[in-house]
């Protein structure tokens, strides 16, 4: 089983309860939240052109930020996370959507979910923390759990975005722990039996956050 700090970090009650406030309460945080959800919503809408009401696993769901958006779109959602503390927050946030929403504790390194259980699996803000080998292993598990589609986001690495990351570090600003080149995206997707169907930048040039719609290869 892979081990990385993120797996333990979010098991803290304090971290779980303060997660949304620390990341999305500032003006820039609120703006990014809106723009990121817009990009994810576009990817979901592309899925719905093929499957009108896809069943969804959102993992890791964290505090339910994306699960709540999916529920507002009228979808049935299971929120999965390794952190029971995060799931408690998500349940409070999305509990009003029962029975369309339920939670399940899941370790994406070894998920206890039968293959092809969902039409769509969403995985948001995890790959920013992982190296290529870790991403590949988890992507294979995501592909097993879905019947057709996976939506995830990565911190995209290109000449421009690498330059931008260096500048942000020098200015003392936070950057993602890991990033993905386009070649890595293609290689990791192919190894999992997936292909890139669509991609959506949250805010081109300004943000390196890239939302990918992946589809199982026929």
Stretch 184-209: mean pLDDT? 96
The Cα–Cα gap between 41 and 36 comes to 9
Residue 3 has pLDDT above 70, yes or no: no
Q: What is the pTM of this model?
A: 0.94
Residue 59 has pLDDT above 50, yes or no: yes
Amino acid 2: pLDDT = 56
Ordered structural domains, the chain, with CATH: 5-216 (3.40.50.150)
Q: What is the rounded average pLDDT for all residues in the chain?
A: 94
Q: What is the pLDDT of residues 123-157, one digit of tens each?
A: 999 999 999 999 999 999 999 999 999 999 999 99
Amino acid 175: pLDDT = 81
The Cα–Cα gap between 94 and 36 comes to 19
Residue 167 has pLDDT above 50, yes or no: yes
Taking every pair of Cα atoms in the chain, the longest distance, rounded to a whole number of angstroms, is 48
Amino acid 105: pLDDT = 97
Residue 1 has pLDDT above 60, yes or no: no
Residue 43 has pLDDT above 70, yes or no: yes
Stretch 4-33: mean pLDDT? 87
Amino acid 5: pLDDT = 62
Alpha helices in 3-131 (DSSP H): 5-9, 13-24, 27-48, 65-72, 84-94
Q: Greater confidence, 120 or 16?
A: 120
Among the ranges given (4-13, 138-147, 150-159, 172-181), the one the predictor scored with the smallest mean pLDDT: 4-13
Amino acid 168: pLDDT = 85
Stretch 96-125: mean pLDDT? 96
Short-list 218, 184, 214, CA closest to 198: 214
């Amino acid at each position: 089983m892979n081990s990385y700090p993120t797996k333990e970090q979010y098991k803290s009650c304090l971290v779980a309860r303060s997660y949304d406030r620390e990341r999305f309460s500032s003006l820039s945080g609120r703006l990014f939240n809106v723009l990121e959800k817009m990009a994810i919503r576009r990817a979901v809408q592309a899925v719905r052109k093929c499957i009108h009401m896809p069943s969804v696993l959102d993992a890791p769901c964290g505090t339910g930020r994306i699960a709540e958006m999916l529920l507002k779109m009228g979808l049935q959602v299971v929120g999965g996370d390794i952190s029971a503390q995060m799931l408690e927050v998500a349940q409070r946030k999305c509990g009003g959507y029962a029975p369309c929403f339920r939670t399940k504790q899941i370790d994406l390194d070894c998920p206890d979910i039968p293959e092809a259980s969902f039409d769509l699996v969403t995985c948001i803000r995890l790959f920013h923390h992982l190296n290529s080998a870790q991403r590949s292993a988890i992507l294979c598990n995501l592909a097993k759990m879905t019947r057709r589609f996976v939506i995830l986001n990565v911190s995209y690495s290109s000449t421009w975005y690498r330059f931008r990351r260096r500048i942000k570090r020098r200015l003392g600003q936070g950057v993602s722990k890991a990033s993905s080149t386009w070649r890595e995206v293609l290689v990791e997707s192919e190894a999992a039996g997936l292909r890139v169907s669509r991609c959506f930048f949250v805010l081109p040039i300004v943000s390196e956050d890239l939302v990918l719609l992946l589809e199982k290869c026929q």
